[in-house]
Amino acid sequence: MHRWALLWTLILLLKEAQSWGFRNGIFHNSIWLEQAAGVYHRESRKGRYQLTYKEAKAVCKYEGGTLATYDQLEAARQIGFHVCAAGWFDRGRVGYPIVKAGTNCGFGRVGIVDYGYRLNKSEKWDVYCYNPNSKECGGILTEQQKIIQSPGFPEEYQDELICYWHIRVRLGQRIRLHFLELDVEEDTSCLADYLEVYDSYDDVSGFAGRFCGDNLPDDIISTGNVMTLKFLSDASVTAGGFQLQYVAFDPSAGPQNHTHSFPAVPLH
């Protein structure tokens, strides 16, 4: 009896591994991945919770996108999209995607925290947009390694950008960020344009550094399997931008190994 149950479970697991489900600690489903790939979060330049419904639509449209649907937001959540900020999405609904239960975000639950369809469209929130064709300004990255660069790199980036990259690798893995190029408008506290790195699901906790200017920072290594990058530019002065590479590694392989095995990347 037990043996049959075990075998059955094994068959189910194998089937699942081939089609959809958790693989490598990441939820895989081709439809979901397709839908999810274009979902991103935006806030107003003025800060959090400053967009009316009309302004929220304009923010998405400005970048060639639309408001995300509930299904797209949920699809993104399934592959690890976690943002602790309520935003407008399709048809005047407000909510946010939660992957990891926390006390200060999502009321200890996971899922789309749904505030429902808002009757008052003058309320101010952030926004969730969808644009599968514009992946340069942010996105959800689940590859084992990838190069991330500012939009238009190495040409000048635009004014008034806010891009978020959410890196999610296998459970148990860690992430090493290695800077290849940095050319971001410089001021003493990096207030104008900057790249921020968070050792976390979002840009609320786990602040690891804010960078501008042209000195290459040291490599940054995550404590877990997620990292968030935020790139922001203000209304004036731009520069070449940044280019960095992340590589997922298995901490059990020992610290020397990932240092030495860091792949060389061609610059362009």
Ligand X SMILES: *[C@@H]1O[C@H](CO)[C@@H](O)[C@H](O)[C@H]1NC(C)=O
Footprint of ligand X (CB under 6 A): 120, 122-123, 253-254, 256-257
Which residue lies nearer to ligand X by CB, 55 or 196?
55
Which residue lies nearer to ligand X by CB, 64 or 254?
254
Question: Looking at residue 107, what DSSP letter applies?
Answer: G
Q: For the CB of residue 219, give the shortest distance to ligand X in the complex, in Å.
A: 18
Phi, psi at 39, each rounded to 5°: -90, 135
Q: For the CB of residue 122, give the shortest distance to ligand X in the complex, in Å.
A: 4
Residue identified by tokens 């089937």 is 15
Rounded Cα gap, residues 53 and 158, in angstroms: 24
The helix or strand, by DSSP H or E, that contains position 28, with its residue range, turns out to be strand 26-28
Angle 8-14-19 (CA atoms, 0-180°, nearest 5)?
125
Beta strand pairing status for 87-89 and 139-141?
Answer: unpaired
Q: For the CB of residue 145, give the shortest distance to ligand X in the complex, in Å.
A: 14
Q: For the CB of residue 45, give the shortest distance to ligand X in the complex, in Å.
A: 19
The helix or strand, by DSSP H or E, that contains position 53, with its residue range, turns out to be helix 53-62
Q: For the CB of residue 120, give the shortest distance to ligand X in the complex, in Å.
A: 4
Q: Which of 209, 221, 142 has the alpha carbon at shortest distance from 182?
A: 209
Which residue lies nearer to ligand X by CB, 123 or 219?
123
Which residue lies nearer to ligand X by CB, 122 or 188?
122
Taking the CA atoms of 106, 97, 109 and 201 in sequence, report the sign of the dihedral they define: negative
Which residue lies nearer to ligand X by CB, 171 or 253?
253
